[in-house]
Amino acid sequence: MKAVVQHGYGPPERVLRLDETARPTPGDDDVLIRVRATSVNTPDSATVAGEPYILRLQAGARRPKQPVRGSDVAGTVEAVGSAVTDLQPGDEVFGSLWGTKDSNAGTFAQYTVAPGSQLAKKPAGLGFDEAAASVMAGLTALLAMRDAGRVQPGAHVLINGASGGVGTMAVQIAKSLGAEVTGVCSARNAELVRSLGADHVIDYAEQDFTKSQTRYAVILDNVMNHRPKAVARLLTPEGVFIPNSLGINGGLLAALPRMARAALMGKGSTTVKFVMLAVNREDLTALADLLETGEVRTVIERTYPFDETATAVAHVLGHHAIGKVAITV
């Protein structure tokens, strides 16, 4: 099969190559998927770049131990392991490899394997690219709004980075839960964020949202471009601060200290919760229901063909993608 293999760290166009590789073999609990679409997430682009260097301690010193990037997937079941009884060849599925340990698996490939428990039936009316691009962003937003924030009808919710992958999903999910939503984004993306249901939009270039007099029950910060203390000042007494950033502005080294300071704040009087993504059938089904009913849609800025995967990764590395970047295989 063909796969996009990473041969080192650096610019995507230099280190990502379309190669012939062995088709992965599913284990007893796994599903072999003919990949129809995938998407680029921040961990993919960060691992390709290999920056900051501390990432290489886990990924691999000179080149990543897992050579094929990608975790989000939508496609057709090719074969199932002996313990998988609820999926069969021909089923159209979507899900994620996130958290799996198979060093031979990745979704920037024609075929991949994923645990059956991390897949769900793809809504019939949803394109493969829309399904694949919804997974990590959609599940992160769902866990942030529904579980960490426990958003209730009428709650005021602020989302910093409302036009990104997680942000576009979070705006819609918060609205589906009955919240009054304020989105922070650039002026060029304001109409998009309003179209997703945001009641108020703040242009970060014109207004520092941390100076607002409004108080919020939940703040999801996907950018971390302000001091956590300044952001947390906007919370109601029972409010929840959800930091969620790998360094969109200023890089990972800029975001990590702020994430650490936010964690320390959580040991005091501020309620701070982090989203720990764990992919499972129940949450995928909940996301599928939202997508199928139209309460949530996947925002895709651009879809690239498989042979332009390196360009797709470079696009995400530029940190200005609107919504998601998808790849058709």
The per-residue b/e assignment along 125-155, b for 16 or more CB within 10 angstroms, e otherwise, is ebbbbbbbbbbbbbbbbbbbbbebbebeeeb
SS3 190: helix
Q: Taking the CA atoms of the chain, what radius of gyration do you get in angstroms?
A: 19
SS3 245: coil
> What residue has token string 């394997």?
113
User: 321 pLDDT band (50/70/90 cuts)?
Assistant: confident
Domains of the chain: 2-132+279-328 (3.90.180.10), 150-272 (3.40.50.720)
How much is the pLDDT for 103?
Answer: 59
Q: Residue 40 in contact with residue 315, Cβ under 8 Å?
A: yes
pLDDT at 251 over 60: no
How much is the pLDDT for 246?
Answer: 59
SS3 240: strand
CB atoms closer than 10 angstroms to residue 18? 15
Q: Residue 99 in contact with residue 41, Cβ under 8 Å?
A: no
More confident residue, 82 or 102: 82
Q: Which helix (H) or strand (E) holds 235?
A: strand 235-243
- Report phi then psi at 213, rounded to 5: -95, -5
Nearest to 59 by CA among 6, 133, 4: 6
Average pLDDT, the chain: 92
How much is the pLDDT for 104?
Answer: 66
How much is the pLDDT for 126?
Answer: 96
Q: Give dist(CA 172, CA 159) in Å, integer.
A: 11
Q: What is the largest CA-CA distance in the chain?
A: 58
How much is the pLDDT for 196?
Answer: 98
Q: Give dist(CA 30, CA 33) in Å, integer.
A: 10
pLDDT at 258 over 70: no
Q: Give dist(CA 67, CA 106) in Å, integer.
A: 8
User: 37 pLDDT band (50/70/90 cuts)?
Assistant: very high
pLDDT at 179 over 60: yes
More confident residue, 59 or 192: 192
Q: Give dist(CA 237, CA 230) in Å, integer.
A: 15
Rounded to an integer, the average pLDDT of 202-230 is 95
pLDDT at 129 over 90: yes
Rounded to an integer, the average pLDDT of 69-85 is 97
Rounded to an integer, the average pLDDT of 124-150 is 97
Q: Give dist(CA 131, CA 152) in Å, integer.
A: 27
Q: Residue 162: left (phi > 0), alpha (psi -120 to 50), or beta?
A: alpha
How much is the pLDDT for 52?
Answer: 73
More confident residue, 262 or 10: 10
Helix and strand counts by DSSP (H, E) for the chain: 10, 15
Rounded to an integer, the average pLDDT of 162-183 is 97
pTM of the model: 0.93
How much is the pLDDT for 58?
Answer: 82
How much is the pLDDT for 318?
Answer: 83
User: 55 pLDDT band (50/70/90 cuts)?
Assistant: confident
pLDDT at 81 over 80: yes
User: 53 pLDDT band (50/70/90 cuts)?
Assistant: confident
Over residues 92-121, the pLDDT tens digits come to 999 999 988 765 689 999 999 999 999 999
**Residue at 82: amino acid letter:** S
Omega within 30 of 0 (cis) for the link into 52? yes
Nearest to 122 by CA among 30, 27, 36, 24: 36
How much is the pLDDT for 250?
Answer: 42
